[in-house]
C-alpha cells in the first residue's frame, strides 16, 4: 500500500468499518456458534457438527425444504410471468392511462409487508372473508384458504404475487421502453404478429433485465419469512400453520432461536440456507454464461 491509494481507502473506510462491525463480525461469530450448543447466556459448548446433523435429520427441516422448493419453483416464474404480463399491458397504453395503471399496479409494493399479510389474513377468512364472500356469490362453498393443507401454499403464492408483481413490473417496463422501436418496425415488416414480436424481439432484448429480476426474486424467495409467518398467525413456539404446510427455513430458524433458545442450531440453520442461496445464485450465473457462449 502506498500513499497514492490512501484517499481511496479513506473514502471506503466508513462503509467497510460498519460493514465489518455489523456484518462480518456477526457472521463470523455466527459461524463459530454454529458448532456450539449455545443458549446465548451460558458458555458455548463445542459440539462439532452435531447442530448441522440434528437440523438436516429433523422432520421439520425436510418439511421446510420441501415447502421451500415447491414455493420457489411456482412463485418465481409465475410472479415474473404476471409482472411481465402487467408490463406488456401497461406498455400497450400510452400517456395518462399508462402512467395511471403503472402507479396503481405498483401500489401494494409501498405497503409494509406486515400490513399486506394482515389484510390478506382477513380477506381469506373462512365464511365472512371477502374472497369467500365473492366465491359465495357465484355459488361456491367456503374455502379455508389458510387452513386447508391443500390450498395454503397457493394462498401464500397469491399474496406474494399481489405484493411483489408491481415491483418487477416497473423494472420490466423500463426494460421494454429501452428496446428500440425500429426492432419492432423491422419485425412487423417481416410480418410478425403481436405474439411473435413478443417472442422474438421483446424477450431476447429483455434478457438482462429478466435475469436481474429472476436472480433477485430467487434470493428473496429463498428467504421468505414475514408473509407466511403472519398469514399463519405464527408465534415463536407455534409456527408453520396446519401440519406445517407453510413452514419455511427462516421461520424454523427463528423458532429454534427464540422459541427453543438454541442459538447454535439457529446459526447452523442460517449457514445451511446461505449455502443453498449461494449455490442457486451461482447456478443462475452459470446458466447465463452458458447461454451467452451458446
Partner 1 sequence: MTIALEATESRRRRWPTITAWDLCRWALAISVTIVVVFPIWWMINVVFTEPGTPVSINPRLYPTSFAAGWDKVAMILRETGYLHAYYMSMAYALLTIAGVLLLGSMAAFEFALFEFPGKRPLFGLIMLSLMVPTAVTIIPTYLLTADLGWINTMQGLVAPGLASAFGLFLLVEFMKGLPKEMIEAARLDGARHFQIYWHVVLPLTRNAMVTLAILTFMKTWGNFIWPLIVLSNAEKYTVSQVVGLFNAPFSHQTVDVVMTANLLAAIPPLLFFLIFQRKIVEGIAMSGSKG
Partner 2 sequence: MPVEQMESLMRSSAVVKSASVLLAIAASPAFADEPVTLEYWVYSDFAQGDALALQQTFISEFKEKHPNVTINISGRGDDDLTAGQIAGAASGTLPDVFMNGLSVGAQLVEVGALSNLYPLWMEMPQSYRDQFDEDALKSCMPKPEELYCLPYTGFGEIMFRNLTVLKEAGIDTAKPPKDWNEWYAQMQAVHEAGKYAVPDQTQVFNSVASTYAIVGGIDGWGIDFDAMKTKIDPATYQKVLQLFVDMAPLNSGTSRNDQSTKDLFITNQLAFHVVGPWVNPTYEQAAKESGLKYDFVLVPGMKEDQHGGIKSYEIVGVAPGEHQKIAFEFAAYITEKNQMARWAKLLSRYNANAEAMAEPDVAELPLIEKSVQAVKYAVDVMPPYFAGAYPNCYRSIVTDNAAMVADGDATPEEGAQELVEELNDCLAN
- Candidates 239, 217, 234; CA nearest to 64 is 239
Q: Does 264 bind partner 2 (CB under 8 A)?
A: no
Instruction: Select 46 or 128, whichever has its Cβ closest to partner 1.
Output: 128
Cβ nearer to partner 2, comparing 176 with 254: 254
157 binding partner (options partner 1, partner 2, none; Cβ < 5 to 8 Å by kind):
none
Measured CA to CA, the distance from residue 152 to residue 159 in angstroms comes to 11
* Among 198, 255, 246, 249, residue whose Cα is nearest residue 222: 249
Largest CA distance in the chain: 78
d(CA 166, CA 176): 15
| CA 46/CA 29 separation, integer angstroms | 13
Q: What is the C-alpha to C-alpha distance for residues 101 and 219, in angstroms, rounded to an integer?
A: 28
Q: Does 237 bind partner 2 (CB under 8 A)?
A: yes
In the structure grid, which three cell numbers stand for residue 288, read together? 447465463
* Contact range with partner 2 by CB under 8 A, out of 9-17, 73-81, 197-205, 260-268: 260-268
Q: Which of 15, 48, 127, 191 binds partner 2 (CB under 8 A)?
A: 127
Beta strand extents in the chain (DSSP E only): 36-37, 45-46
Query: Which residue matches cell numbers 446461505?
Result: 274
How many residues contact partner 1, by CB under 8 A?
96
**According to the binding rule CB under 8 A, does residue 257 interact with partner 1?**
yes
**Could you say whether residue 73 binds partner 1 (CB under 8 A)?**
no
Q: Where are the beta strands (DSSP E) in 148-276?
A: none
- C-beta of 180: minimal distance to partner 1 in Å? 14
Rank residues 145 and 167 by Cβ distance to partner 2 and give the closer one. Answer: 145
Give the residue carrying C-alpha cell 417496463: 173
Cβ proximity to partner 1, 49 vs 133, nearer residue:
133
Cα 123 → chain centroid: 22
Contact between 29 and partner 2 by CB under 8 A: the answer reads: no
Radius of gyration of the chain from its Cα atoms, rounded to whole angstroms: 23
Interface region with partner 1, contact rule CB under 8 A, candidates 21-29, 44-52, 53-61, 66-74? 21-29
Q: How far is the CB of 244 from partner 1 (least distance, A)?
A: 18
Interacting residue with partner 1 among 36, 79, 108, 245 (CB under 8 A): 108
First vs last Cα of the chain: how many Å apart?
42
Q: Which is nearer to partner 1, 33 or 145 (CB)?
A: 33
Length of the chain: 294
Contact 160, 79 (CB under 8 A): yes
Over the window 53 to 82, marking each residue x when it contacts partner 2 by CB under 8 A and - when it does not, the resulting string is: -x---xxx----------------------
Binding mask 52-71 for partner 1 (x = CB under 8 A): --------------------
Considering beta carbons, is residue 122 or 140 the nearer one to partner 1? Answer: 122
Q: Rounded to the nearest whole angstrom, what is the least distance from the CB of residue 26 to partner 1 in the complex?
A: 4
Cα dist from 195 to 185, 191, 201, whole Å: 14, 11, 10
Binds partner 2 (CB under 8 A): choice among 18, 20, 148, 203: 148
Q: Is the C-alpha dihedral spanning 140, 141, 146, 152 positive or negative?
A: negative
Q: Which residues bind partner 2 (CB under 8 A)?
A: 39-42, 54, 58-60, 122, 125-129, 142, 144, 147-149, 233, 235-240, 242-244, 255-256, 258-261, 263
Amino acid at each position: 500500500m502506498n500513499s497514492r491509494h490512501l484517499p481511496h481507502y479513506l473514502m471506503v473506510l466508513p462503509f467497510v468499518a460498519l460493514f465489518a462491525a455489523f456484518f462480518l463480525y456477526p457472521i463470523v461469530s455466527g459461524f463459530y456458534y454454529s458448532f456450539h450448543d449455545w443458549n446465548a447466556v451460558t458458555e458455548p459448548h463445542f459440539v462439532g457438527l452435531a447442530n448441522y446433523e440434528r437440523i438436516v435429520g429433523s422432520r421439520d427441516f425436510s418439511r421446510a425444504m420441501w415447502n421451500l422448493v415447491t414455493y420457489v419453483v411456482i412463485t418465481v416464474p409465475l410472479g415474473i410471468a404476471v409482472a411481465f404480463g402487467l408490463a406488456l399491458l401497461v406498455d400497450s397504453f400510452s400517456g395518462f392511462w399508462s402512467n395511471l395503471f403503472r402507479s396503481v399496479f405498483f401500489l401494494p409494493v409501498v405497503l409494509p409487508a406486515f400490513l399486506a399479510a394482515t389484510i390478506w389474513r382477513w380477506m381469506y377468512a373462512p365464511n365472512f372473508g371477502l374472497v369467500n364472500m365473492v366465491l359465495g356469490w357465484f355459488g361456491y362453498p367456503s374455502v379455508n384458504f389458510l387452513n386447508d393443507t391443500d390450498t395454503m401454499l397457493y394462498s401464500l403464492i397469491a399474496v406474494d404475487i399481489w405484493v411483489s408483481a408491481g415491483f418487477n413490473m416497473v423494472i420490466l417496463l423500463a426494460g421494454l421502453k429501452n428496446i428500440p422501436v425500429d426492432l419492432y418496425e423491422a419485425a412487423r415488416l417481416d410480418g410478425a404478429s403481436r405474439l411473435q414480436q413478443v417472442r422474438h424481439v421483446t424477450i431476447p432484448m429483455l434478457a438482462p433485465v429478466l435475469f436481474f429480476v429472476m436472480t433477485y426474486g430467487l434470493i428473496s424467495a429463498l428467504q421468505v419469512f414475514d408473509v407466511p409467518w403472519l398469514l399463519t398467525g405464527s408465534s415463536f413456539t407455534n409456527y408453520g400453520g396446519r401440519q406445517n404446510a407453510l413452514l419455511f427455513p427462516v421461520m424454523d430458524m427463528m423458532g429454534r432461536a427464540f422459541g427453543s433458545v438454541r442459538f447454535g442450531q439457529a446459526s447452523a440453520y442460517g449457514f445451511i440456507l446461505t449455502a443453498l442461496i449461494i449455490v442457486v445464485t451461482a447456478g443462475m450465473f452459470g446458466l447465463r454464461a452458458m447461454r451467452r457462449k451458446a
